[in-house]
Structure 1
């Protein structure tokens, strides 16, 4: 079985409401206000940020487009974009799960919607090549989840058939897309619940 990890909110912290409340405290006094801002900034990873995710526009163009669309000062938008790496802290429970799965002999891969600058940061900061046999970043293949194209590209990259893959992702739409293509999948909420599911499926020892 090839086990495939999403990155944001699965292996690395990604919680826009608290992130924006932290880095844009003058605009978001708490996570409720941060969540409202996140809808405007990230547009549910469609629009401007979706194009950035797919590598169709660069960071500078993304900032230009968000500024034109929202009227927020461009320098504030750039400051938020520059702060994203500080949000991407390792989720230790998932890192431990990776080590357990590797010890059981499973081949691990990743499939992540990630703009190229942040993909570069993760590769330079964390031992991805030690953890994963291979992986796909959306920003480098110009496709993003939940489109079928990126799942097909991933299977080719992983050298796998759909039924040979177990996928962990935190977005219901991505899980639904994977299952529709014949992948086994788990909607990730916590490392502990993911471990329970992997154990039930016989991928980790009880």
Structure 2
């Protein structure tokens, strides 16, 4: 089936996003486990993905939970410990697609204000043809509207979009809309998929 554009998620596809792992380093595994058992930090971050300023949301959550105030603030103050390192092979694949003039889009749950800062650290975030960032749009995956926005803005038929994401719920919604999909479990499998679609050669996908 023809692919007119390849749509990339960011977290755990292009850049590792493992807050628990980062907190294990920052405050130790035992303390991290206790904090994450008591607090839903990922739910806090959902508000950031919907457009809330990162610092404001994190610091407000810290004030609401003073027993963990300093540790919660690390979500903002040490954000680049939570995000990274880059998944280098995935970057190479994106750039190989661009080198062949295959349009590449980003569709990511990502905070508005942190996106620009992250783009200065992770250069690949500047290299997309179209940007669908939840914090800028006010809609998040896996809800239907953000996928509709991609279709409407790009004017590409759903079955000509190939979407890669590491979360099954995000993939399931895209698939339900008729998109071609790939559940990311590592760059080698993603490389094989791009080769099987005829988008890259084996050499280009290394």
* TM-score tier (shorter): 0.7 to 0.9
What is the TM-score when the length of structure 2 is the normalising length? 0.84
Residue segments in structure 1 that go unaligned for 5+ positions in a row: none
What is the TM-score when the length of structure 1 is the normalising length? 0.84
1:23 matches 2:19: no
Equivalent residue number for residue 52 of structure 1: 48
* Number of residue pairs matched by the alignment: 198
1-structure distance, mates of 2:72, 2:124: 29
1:4 matches 2:7: yes
1-structure distance, mates of 2:32, 2:182: 27
SS of the aligned residue for 1:176 comes to helix
Are the aligned partners of 1:52 and 1:59 in contact in 2 as well (CA < 8 Å)? no
Are the aligned partners of 1:13 and 1:88 in contact in 2 as well (CA < 8 Å)? yes
Are the aligned partners of 1:166 and 1:186 in contact in 2 as well (CA < 8 Å)? yes
Residue segments in structure 2 that go unaligned for 5+ positions in a row: none
Matches for 1:64-83 after TM superposition, within 5 Å: 64-65=60-61, 67-68=63-64, 70-83=65-78
Matches for 1:81-92 after TM superposition, within 5 Å: 81-86=76-81, 87-92=83-88
Which one has more relative contact order, counting CA pairs under 8 Å at least 6 apart?
2
Name the CA shift for 1:123/1:41 in 2 (closer, same or farther; >3 Å): farther
Are the aligned partners of 2:91 and 2:124 in contact in 1 as well (CA < 8 Å)? no
Matches for 1:131-142 after TM superposition, within 5 Å: 131-142=127-138
Are the aligned partners of 2:104 and 2:128 in contact in 1 as well (CA < 8 Å)? yes
SS of the aligned residue for 2:85 comes to coil
Q: 1:52 Cα deviation (Å)?
A: 1.6
Are the aligned partners of 1:23 and 1:83 in contact in 2 as well (CA < 8 Å)? no
Are the aligned partners of 2:53 and 2:112 in contact in 1 as well (CA < 8 Å)? no
What is the alpha-carbon root mean square deviation over aligned residues?
A: 2.3
Are the aligned partners of 1:4 and 1:165 in contact in 2 as well (CA < 8 Å)? yes
Name the CA shift for 1:39/1:205 in 2 (closer, same or farther; >3 Å): farther
